[in-house]
Structure 1
Amino acid sequence: MAAVEAEGVAEELRSTYATGKTKTFEWRASQLKALLKIVTHHEKEIVEALRCDLNKPELEAVVYEIAAVASSCKLALKELYHWMKPQKVKTSLLSFPSSAEIVTEPLGVVLVISTWNYPFFLSLDPLIGAIAAGNAVVLKPSEVAPATSSLLSKFLGEYLDISAVKVIEGAVPETTALLEQKWDKIFYTGNGKVGRIVLAAAAKHLTPVVLELGGKSPVVVDANINLKVDALSAELQKFYGKDPVGCKDLSSIINSHHFDRLTKLLEDQKVSGKIVYGGQRDKTNLKIAPTILLDVPRDSLIMNEEIFGPLLPIITVNKIEDCLGFINAKEKPLAAYLFTNDKKLKEEFIRNVSAGGMTINDTVLHFAESGLPFGGVGESGMGAYHGKFSFDAFSHKKAVLQRGFGGEVAARYPPYDSGKSRFLRALLEGNVLGMIRALIGW
């Protein structure tokens, strides 16, 4: 879709949203069911698109992208009625007689800008939340994963209500055209540089944003785990064999630009001689072997830039306190991981390390739990999603108070005096005895 087609799409969808159809339970459920049909009826095409873009192994495509989307759809369909239901809230004596509730309403017309590393799941998971919440949505997939972008445009156009859900393909011109428009929320997944551009564009319209960014996510391995570097090497060889760049189970680097970026990190003079495993490269097929670098200088490129590739720099410290200090001296990460058998260390790590999320004695698994919010903090982002949190990310919680015409509190109105002041203070504090004393003039 050309940039000119991106222009004005927000207002086009706003006309659809104004009809109120996206707010109904029936519309939301029908669109979620349509998304579920895509992943159940077109698994082969999705796997092929992910193979074209990332050379992603079929198991990874099926489990971490397709099945993950199906699971998200099924959860939303199962819980949608309860998510939409107003939440009753207790009221105070100040508004007696009254009732109150929190009514969840859609924000309106929202924009989802996705990324390329999990181009199917990271496009559709926030889309599921936006639809479940009753919004009209524009999805902008990553042009860096063109096969998946094209597939999303095709299938969403065939299965979903295109008057309320649209896919805009393209690159910088299309994204720029989209960001110039007024949205009721923008959800962006990507890097901090573009995140700042998105946030600046949103500020012009006071548009709220969710930014899912990256950074460097530290993994701390306590000495009591007794993990040795050669153990990592042995496991990697079990995974990918002696010729990892020729292994079908190893994904490719997304494109030549990122291949060259990762190569630059390896060729930095400061890490020369630090490679203890891997390092093989095949530019023709855009493959880099899983690579371990030991005791790299802290001022090297690889320690100060986001890696997003199969490169693992390791730093050894003498005391665990040095490790925590090193993490906290950096920008807050999207995730932090700890391997230990020490209960006190676990508690200290959770208490003192600020990160978007954590997994103890494993990695990444907190991302897979729909009952946990996933999001960053500080430089790693703002806002969160997954499961109910996705629904909430695209919703407004509207406070609604209803009361009858009886039971008016005259003390609320002028002329004011000390007795009214004492009565209202006691009323706000829920002090029944104080209210009685104020009424009888004590």
Structure 2
Amino acid sequence: MNCRIEELVNKQRAYFETGATKKPETRLQALIRLKLSIQSHESEILEALKQDLGKSAFESYMAEIGMVLSELSYIRKHLTAWARPRKRPAPLAQFPSSCQVIPEPYGVTLIMAPWNYPFMLCMDPLIGAVAAGNCCILKPANYSAATSAVIRKIVTEVFPEEYVAVVEGGREENAELLNQKFDYIFFTGSRRVGQLVLERAAVHVTPVSLELGGKSPCIVDLSANLKMAAKRIVFGKFLNAGQTCVAPDYLLVHREVKEELLRWIRLYIRRMYGAHPLYNENYPKIITEAHFDRVCGLMEGKDIFLGGQSSREKQKIAPTVLDHAELTDPVMQEEIFGPVLPVLTYKTVDEAIAIQKKVLNGAKPLALYLFARDKTCIRKVLEQISFGGGCINDTIVHLATSHMGFGGVGDSGMGSYHGKLSFDTFTHEKSILKKSNFLDLPVRYQPAQVWKMKALRIFMK
């Protein structure tokens, strides 16, 4: 496999050098073929996601297939305009001249995707890479093998391997891919593996995007609509059984409204998942036994307000709410990535901000959610807490648009994508100044003279 990966990278580099991928019409046709292929294989994608993660068809279409198709439509609509050179103002000191920025693809790119949304988090970056004119190697997650197989089928149907190819496998294949020289690497996954990707990319001075994670807080203010907050918190937290990088990781609720909020949360968990979630066929499973054991361990010895049940046979953990959580608890020392929601309380907004900054020693979260109607509260939280992105009075849906970028900051990642930013991520902007030959102002040339200094001060200020 090692030789195969190296040959594949070289093959793509040779193909990229032909210029075939740079033509906007070629990119558009490739995206059209990709959309048609996804639509024709929809039932296979749904079945694969059910097999890998136990996702229902409803959840799989809403959170994976539908988002990919929406992104495809948006980028196809705007691609031609984005790919054109763009004029820029020329400085007076360079008169007479003209300036332009020419978008060009990086070349051969690598996309490494995770297992929790294995279709969407593989395809969304691919759309940006192809739209920008790159060749690409996709590395789906090994844990979601059924979805990886369908991705390989679709990609093989749409692209020759010298254009886009899929490499399946585990750590050995990951390591060998990172030994190769790519022109851009896009990684989605854990902070630990992201650090490794960054280290290996540095060897070749390869630019990267890292979409990582973190403990994303959900703050519920005294002024919040508690019924609506509960419904949207339950939706965002327990989607994909909590295995979502932007899921609310813990709840910070004003002490005066905690009891009422928890009553509403209990109501909506039962409405959405039933009295016995472990037997709900539409409720997803935990990806591996090791992950199942880790999440179950985080609940041990805690005050369980609701849930706590689990089934090793079904590999499921019921939606669980832990009351009276403390910052020193194991569940507050790492990203949960499962259907467990610890609850902490606060007295003032300033205290809530201070608590958030103590979590994981001030690491910046990928997302933040605030339920509030008080404008002062909203302003304080947005001004004083740094995070990748988030919602006011909702959870996770800020990433479900092609009109805004999605990405982390600090420990939660670097770079942003979706819509125009997906195109920009995989694009180098080449800056060109074109100078006229008809006039050559002498002010910049030696010998230095007083009048030249005066002219420079006029032009350059």
Asked if Structure 1 and Structure 2 have the same fold, meaning a TM-score greater than 0.5 normalized by the shorter chain, the answer is yes
Report the counterpart of residue 63 of structure 1 in structure 2.
Answer: 62
Task: For 1:169, give the aligned amino acid.
Answer: E
User: 329, 353, 357: which is aligned to 1:300?
Assistant: 329
Cα distance, 1:161 vs. partner? 2.8
SS at match of 1:11: helix
Q: Give the superposition deviation at 1:7.
A: 2.9
Kept in 1, the 8 Å contact 2:37–2:157? The answer is no
What is the TM-score with the length of structure 1 in the denominator?
0.94
1:124-147 C-alpha deviation (Å, 9 max, x unpaired): 000000000000000000001000
Q: Which of 347, 371, 389 does residue 357 from structure 1 map onto?
A: 389
Residue pairs, 1:141-160, within 5 angstroms: 141-160=140-159
Q: Secondary structure at the match of 2:346?
A: coil
**Distance in 1 between residues matched to 2:327 and 2:274, nearest whole Å:** 31
- Cα 1:3–1:57, aligned 2, differ >3 Å: closer, same or farther? farther
The amino acid across from 2:399 in the alignment is F
1:421 match: 453
**1:263 equivalenced with 2:296 (yes/no):** yes
CA distance in 2, matches of 1:180, 1:335: 32
What is the one-letter code of the residue matched to 1:383?
A: G
Shift of 1:418: 1.9
SS at match of 2:322: strand
1:283 alignment partner, one of 290, 302, 312: 312
- Post-superposition offset of 1:273: 4.1
1:337 lines up with 2:369 in the alignment: yes
- Confirm or deny: 8 A CA contact 2:215 2:335 kept in the other structure: yes
Q: Equivalent residue for 1:402?
A: 434
Distance (whole Å) between structure 2 residues aligned to residue 409 and residue 374 of structure 1: 46
Match of 1:240 in 2: 273
Matches within 5 A, 1:157-172: 157-172=156-171
- Determine the C-alpha separation between the residues in 1 that align with 2:394 and 2:270: 20
Residues 262-321 of structure 1: CA distance to partner in whole angstroms, max 9, x if unpaired? 111112xxxx24111001101111110000001212111110111111110010112221
Matched residues in 1 for 2:115 and 2:7: separation?
25
Amino acid aligned to 1:231? W
Paired residue for 1:215? Answer: 214
- Quote the offset at 1:3 in angstroms: 4.1
In structure 1, how many angstroms separate the alpha carbons of the residues matched to 2:91 and 2:273? 64
Equivalent in the alignment of 1:192: 191
Indicate if the aligned counterparts of 2:38 and 2:154 stay in contact, CA closer than 8 A: no
- Cα distance in 2 for partners of 1:99, 1:185 equals 30
Which has the larger displacement, 121-130 or 24-33? Answer: 24-33
Shift of 1:87: 1.3
The answer as to whether partners of 2:210 and 2:415 remain within 8 angstroms in 1 is yes
**Superposed displacement of residue 40, structure 1:** 1.1
Please tell me whether residue 383 in structure 1 is matched to residue 415 in structure 2: yes
1:158-182 per-position Cα deviation (integer Å, ceiling 9, x unaligned): 2223221010000000010000011
Secondary structure of residue in 2 paired with 1:118: coil
Query: Residue by residue, what CA displacement relative to the aligned partner does 1:402-431 show, whole Å, maximum 9, x if unpaired?
Result: 1211221112111112221111121223xx
What does 1:104-123 align with in structure 2 at a 5 Å threshold? Answer: 104-123=103-122
More moved, 4-13 vs 360-369: 4-13
Task: Indicate the larger mover: 385-394 or 8-17.
Answer: 8-17
| 1:35 counterpart residue number | 34
Q: Distance in 2 between matches of 1:90 and 1:379?
A: 37
Taking only aligned residues, the RMSD between alpha carbons, in angstroms, comes to 1.1
Gaps of 5+ in 1: 430-442
Q: Does 1:254 align with 2:283?
A: no
2:80 paired with 1:81: yes
Contact 1:39 1:69 in 2 (8 A): no
Query: Which amino acid counterpart does residue 362 of structure 1 have in structure 2?
Result: D
| Number of the residue aligned with 2:343 | 314
Greater CA deviation, 285-294 or 228-237?
Answer: 228-237
Aligned length in residues: 424
- In 1, the alpha carbon distance for the partners of 2:21 and 2:75 equals 15
Name 1:347's counterpart in structure 2: 379
Quote the Cα distance in structure 2 between the aligned partners of 1:3 and 1:238. Answer: 50
Aligned twin of 1:437: none
2:352 maps to amino acid: C
1:376-407 CA-to-partner distances (Å, cap 9, x unmatched) read 00000000000110000000011111121122
Aligned residue for 1:440?
none
Q: Which runs of 4+ in 1 moved over 3 A?
A: none
2:317–2:339 CA contact under 8 A, matched in 1: yes
Determine if contact 1:31/1:161 at 8 Å carries over to the other structure: no
Aligned to 1:46: 45
Q: Which residue of 1 aligns with 2:353?
A: 324
Task: Quote the Cα distance in structure 2 between the aligned partners of 1:200 and 1:310.
Answer: 32
TM-score scaled by length of structure 2: 0.90
Q: CA–CA distance in 1 between the matches of 2:314 and 2:189? A: 24
